[in-house]
A and B are shown apart, each in its own frame.
Chain A
Amino acid sequence: MRLIYVIYFMIVLLLSCTDEPNESSFNVSVKNASVELLEVEAYLQEEIVFNADLNPNENSPSCDYVDEKFRGIFITYCGTDSIVFKFSNNRVYISTDTNSGNFNFSSTRNPLLPNGGFQKSGSTYEFRITQEDFENAFELPE
């Protein structure tokens, strides 16, 4: 009888789900997939924290983190809450972590949000700026 209890207990232990959730490594970057020069400026609380000029087909340095879920360019890991994408013709997009403002990409694309329209390339999640983006970018008001 005791043996049955021991076996029962071991089966319960084996089938239990008591592990912590699995975490994965994520690398996220911006890729200039247009044929234009692209300037990227990242801000945290309105202070610039990073800027880079990306030539066509060039990627920004990646933000790397470990989490249960992909969270986009997330403030906690990447230290930015808004990004300005500026083309050589001075047209822009501005993305914020609250998806606010009037210079966003389409409503479904935002690199600061987890399902903001990333594409996976190898181990990197890329937010790709396309030639179509260049053509549809916003003119900043005077």
Chain B
Amino acid sequence: MESWAEGVETIVTNDRYRNLSSSYFDDGNDDIGWNFLRQRDRVFEMNEYTPIVTDLVDNYNQSIEYGYLNPRPPMDRVRNYTLQQVQNALNNCRTVDCWERNLRNYYHNSSEQHLNELFDYMRGVLNNNNPNKCD
């Protein structure tokens, strides 16, 4: 739930900034704009605010970009879902598995073979015992 809100916030904000000032995207935010630090998060340190929605939409693989971190951030080979598709797939779902299944069943996407790999990190976050998570 929080990840959905986080994703909308990130994508809409960056879309807006892109229209207002393309120079906003620079080295200071890794050229990916507002909330760029979420892309550095590793599973063990994540809480409810995962970057899963951004990961479904963007063409950015943080596991490659930050491959020097140990452990690496999640492998993100999924790309080009739209925010609308992500929302439709989330409707009436109460589990991560349902969300992933709906995305696969509702839409054709050339990277959908990597959905399971991507959603695996969300399943990892559910069990990561991070004390900063909300109960």
Which A residues lie at the B interface, using CB under 8 A?
Answer: 17-19, 21-22, 67-69, 71, 76, 98-100, 107-108, 113-115
Contact = CB atoms under 8 A, between A and B. Distances in A.
Contacts of A108: 70
Contacts of A115: 69-70
Contacts of B69: 113-115
A76 B48 contact: no
B37 interface: yes
**DSSP majority for the B interface?**
loop
Secondary structure of the A contact surface, majority rule: loop
**Highest count of chain A CB atoms <10 Å: which of B45, B68, B135:** B68
For this complex, into which size category does the number of interface residues on chain B fall?
10 to 19
A112 to B, nearest CB: 10
B37 to A, nearest CB: 7
A98 B134 CA distance: 32
The winner among A19, A69, A99, A108 for most chain B CB atoms within 10 A is A69
A91 B30 CA distance: 33
Contact of B134 (A17, A107, A113): A17
A17 B41 contact: no
B48 A17 contact: yes
